[in-house]
C-alpha cells in the first residue's frame, strides 16, 4: 500500500496511515457484508420462487387426474425460471377455471339425470364451503327443480299426454327480431315521441298518453301515421325468431291447440303458422279494411306489405282503382275499439293441458285474464324476464317460471324435445 502524504510529519503520517488502513478494512468489511446480504436475498428469492412453484404443483396434483402436472428444471435459477413460474401459475389458474366448469357441468349432468325421475338431490363438491358457493348451490338447486318440472312436461309432450297446448305471447318474443316492445327503454312509443319531435307533428303520444293507434290520428295525419309506423315499427324488415318457429313446430307435431297473441307484427304468419291456429287478440296487419263504410273493401297483408314498408298511405283507390277515397286500415284493434272475444276461447281453455306464456307483461286486460282460465291442475309455464301478472298474484303449485331470454329457453326446450333439426329446416 503506497501513501502519498510525504509532506506530513512521520508520527502524524504513521497515525494517519493507520487510520486510513483501519477505514479501508472497515469499508472492506462493509462491502463484504453487503455482498453477503445481497447473496442471501437472492437465495431467499430463489427459495420463495421454488416454494411457490411447489405450491402450484401441489395444487395441480390435487386438482384432478385429467390435468397434466407441469415439470420444471429448478437448477437454473434465473429470470427465465421466474417467467416459467408465472406462466405455470397462469396455466394453473386456467386449469382451475377449467375444473370449475367441469365441476359445474358434472353437477348439471347429475341434476338433469335426477330431473326426470324422483326428486334427487344432486351431489356437489362442498370442500370450499363459502357464501359464494352456497349462493351458487341455491341458484343451481332452483334451476334443477325447474329442470325437473320442465323435463316432466317435455316427456308428456313427447308421449302425447300433453296434446292441447295453448300459447300466449306478447311483444317480448319479437324484440329479438328487432321490433320494439311497448314497455322497455327505447320502446315503440319512445320512437314515436322522437318522430313527433323530428317531424314537428302530433301523433297522439305525450309523456302521459300513448294514443297512437286511433282513427282520429290516422285520419288527421295519414302520411305521418303510416310513415311513423314504418320507421318505428320495423314490421316489414323483421324476420321470425326461433321462438316463432317453435310454435309452428308445435302445430306440426299436433300439440298446438291455439296461439293467442297480442302482437300485430305478423311474424307468426311469416313463420308459416297455420292461420286457423292464430288468435290475434289485438288484431293485426293480416287484413286491412277500407274506412269508407259504403266500400268496405278488404285485402290481405301481402298486397300491402310493400306499401307499409315504404311508409305510404294504403289508399283504397291505389289498390282497387275504384275511385274510393278511403284508407285501407289495418285490422289492428285501435284505441277504444272493442276487442272481439274469439268464439273458440272457452272451449280452448277447457281443453288446454299446458299453457305456455311468453314475452308479455300480462298488464293489458282482457288478455291478461286468460291465464286464469286454464284448469287448476294444468301446468302453466311463463318464459319471461320477470315474473308477472297472475303468476305473481295467484301462483299455482304447477307453475313453472323460466326466467330470461325467450329464444334461449325455447332453444333448450327444442333440444329436449329432439326437434332441433326440424327447426333448422323450418327456419331456413
Ligand atoms: Zn274503399
Inside any domain, residue 278: yes
Ligand 1 mean position, distance from CA 195 (Å)? 29
Examine the domain organization and report whether 251 and 206 are in the same domain: yes
- Going from the Cα of 108 to the center of ligand 1, the distance in angstroms, rounded, reads 61
Cell 314504418, residue? 230
Describe the crossing of helices 406-417 and 420-427 by its angle, rounded to 10 degrees.
Answer: 120
Please state, in angstroms and as integers, the Cα–Cα distance from residue 225 to each residue in 94, 194, 231, 329, 376, following that order.
57, 14, 10, 11, 44
CA-CA distance, 390 to 152, in Å (whole number)? 23
Residue 308 CA to ligand 1 centre (angstroms): 17
Neighbours of ion ligand 1 (CB under 5 A): 290, 292, 295, 297, 316, 324, 326
Report the pLDDT value the prediction gives residue 29, as an integer from 0 to 100. Answer: 53
Are 98 and 235 in a shared domain? no
Q: Are residues 101 and 196 in the same domain?
A: no
Element (H, E) at 381: strand 380-384
Co-location of 107 and 207 in the same domain: no
**Residues 135, 184 within the same domain:** no
Q: Compute the distance from residue 317 Cα to the ligand 1 centre, in Å.
A: 7
Amino acid 375: pLDDT? 97
pLDDT at 232: 83
Tell me whether residue 45 is in a domain.
no
**For residues 380 and 359, what is the distance between their CA atoms, to the nearest angstrom?**
14
The confidence score (pLDDT) of residue 158 equals 97
Give domain status of residue 195, yes or no. yes
Would you say residue 13 lies in a domain?
A: no
Measured in Å, residue 329 CA sits from the centre of ligand 1 at: 10
**Is the same domain home to 170 and 290?**
yes
Same domain, 224 and 373: yes
Backbone φ and ψ for 329, nearest 5 degrees, come out as -80, 130
Q: Which residues of the chain have pLDDT under 70?
A: 1-145, 235
CA of 330 to the centre of ligand 1 (A): 13
Task: Specify whether 106 is located in the same domain as 170.
Answer: no
DSSP symbol at 364: S
The domain total for the chain is 2
Whether 34 maps to a domain, the answer reads no
Both 94 and 176 in one domain: the answer is: no
Distance CA 89, CA 84 (A): 8
Residues carrying an active site annotation: 282
Q: 280 CA to middle of ligand 1, Å? A: 24
- CATH number for the domain that contains residue 280: 3.40.50.1220
Structural domain boundaries, residue 166: 161-427
- Alpha-carbon Rg for the chain in angstroms: 37
Judge if 226 and 305 occupy the same domain: yes
Indicate whether 358 belongs to any domain: yes
Burial 186-201 (b: 16+ CB within 10 A, else e): ebbbebbbebbeeeeb
Residue 314 domain flag: yes
Residue with cell 463484504: 32
C-alpha 320/C-alpha 40 separation (Å) is: 99
> What DSSP string runs through 102-134?
HHHHHHHHHHHHHHSSS-PPPP---SS--HHHH
Q: 425 C-alpha to center of ligand 1: Å?
A: 41
Distance CA(342)–CA(348), nearest Å, equals 10
Burial class (CB in 10 A: 0-12, 13-18, 19+), 336: exposed
Residues 355-384: tens digit of each pLDDT: 999 999 999 999 999 999 999 999 999 999
Pairing, β 380-384 against β 354-358: parallel
**pLDDT for the residue numbered 340:** 85
244 shares its domain with 314: yes
* Residue 420: φ, ψ to 5°: -60, -45
Would 297 be classed as within a structural domain?
yes
Q: Are residues 238 and 354 in the same domain?
A: yes
Amino acid at each position: 500500500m503506497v501513501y502519498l502524504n510525504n509532506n506530513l510529519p512521520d508520527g502524524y503520517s504513521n497515525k494517519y496511515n493507520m487510520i486510513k488502513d483501519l477505514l479501508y478494512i472497515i469499508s472492506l468489511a462493509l462491502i463484504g457484508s453487503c455482498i453477503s446480504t445481497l447473496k442471501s436475498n437472492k437465495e431467499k428469492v430463489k427459495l420463495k420462487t421454488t416454494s411457490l412453484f411447489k405450491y402450484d404443483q401441489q395444487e395441480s396434483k390435487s386438482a384432478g387426474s385429467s390435468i397434466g402436472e407441469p415439470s420444471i428444471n429448478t437448477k437454473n435459477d434465473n429470470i427465465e425460471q421466474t417467467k416459467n413460474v408465472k406462466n405455470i401459475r397462469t396455466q394453473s389458474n386456467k386449469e382451475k377455471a377449467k375444473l370449475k366448469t367441469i365441476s359445474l357441468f358434472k353437477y348439471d349432468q347429475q341434476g338433469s339425470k335426477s330431473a326426470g325421475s324422483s326428486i334427487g338431490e344432486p351431489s356437489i363438491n362442498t370442500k370450499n364451503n363459502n357464501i359464494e358457493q352456497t349462493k351458487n348451490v341455491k341458484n343451481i338447486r332452483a334451476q334443477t327443480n325447474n329442470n325437473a318440472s320442465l323435463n316432466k312436461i317435455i316427456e308428456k309432450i313427447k308421449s302425447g299426454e300433453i296434446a292441447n297446448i295453448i300459447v300466449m305471447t306478447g311483444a317480448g318474443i319479437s324484440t329479438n327480431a328487432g321490433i320494439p316492445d311497448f314497455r322497455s327503454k327505447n320502446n315503440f312509443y319512445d320512437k314515436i315521441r322522437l318522430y313527433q319531435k323530428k317531424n314537428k307533428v302530433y301523433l297522439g303520444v305525450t309523456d302521459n298518453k300513448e294514443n297512437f293507434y286511433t282513427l282520429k290520428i290516422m285520419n288527421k295525419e295519414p302520411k305521418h301515421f303510416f310513415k311513423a309506423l314504418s320507421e318505428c315499427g320495423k314490421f316489414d324488415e323483421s324476420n321470425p325468431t326461433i321462438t316463432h318457429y317453435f310454435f309452428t313446430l308445435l302445430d306440426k307435431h299436433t300439440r298446438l291447440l291455439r296461439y293467442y297473441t297480442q302482437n300485430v307484427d305478423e311474424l307468426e304468419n311469416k313463420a308459416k303458422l297455420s292461420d286457423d291456429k292464430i288468435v290475434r287478440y289485438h288484431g293485426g296487419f293480416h287484413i286491412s279494411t277500407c274506412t269508407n263504410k259504403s266500400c268496405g273493401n278488404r285485402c290481405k297483408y301481402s298486397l300491402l306489405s310493400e306499401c307499409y314498408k315504404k311508409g305510404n298511405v294504403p289508399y283504397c283507390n291505389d289498390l282497387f282503382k275504384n275511385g274510393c277515397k278511403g284508407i285501407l286500415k289495418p285490422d289492428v284493434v285501435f284505441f277504444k275499439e272493442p276487442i272481439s272475444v274469439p268464439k273458440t276461447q272457452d272451449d280452448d281453455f277447457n281443453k288446454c293441458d299446458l299453457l305456455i306464456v311468453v314475452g308479455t307483461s300480462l298488464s293489458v286486460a282482457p288478455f291478461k285474464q286468460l291465464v286464469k282460465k286454464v284448469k287448476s291442475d294444468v301446468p302453466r309455464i311463463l318464459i319471461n324476464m320477470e315474473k308477472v301478472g297472475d303468476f305473481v298474484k295467484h301462483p299455482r303449485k304447477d307453475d313453472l317460471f323460466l326466467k330470461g331470454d325467450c329464444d334461449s329457453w325455447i332453444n333448450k326446450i327444442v333440444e329436449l324435445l329432439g326437434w332441433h333439426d326440424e327447426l333448422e329446416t323450418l327456419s331456413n
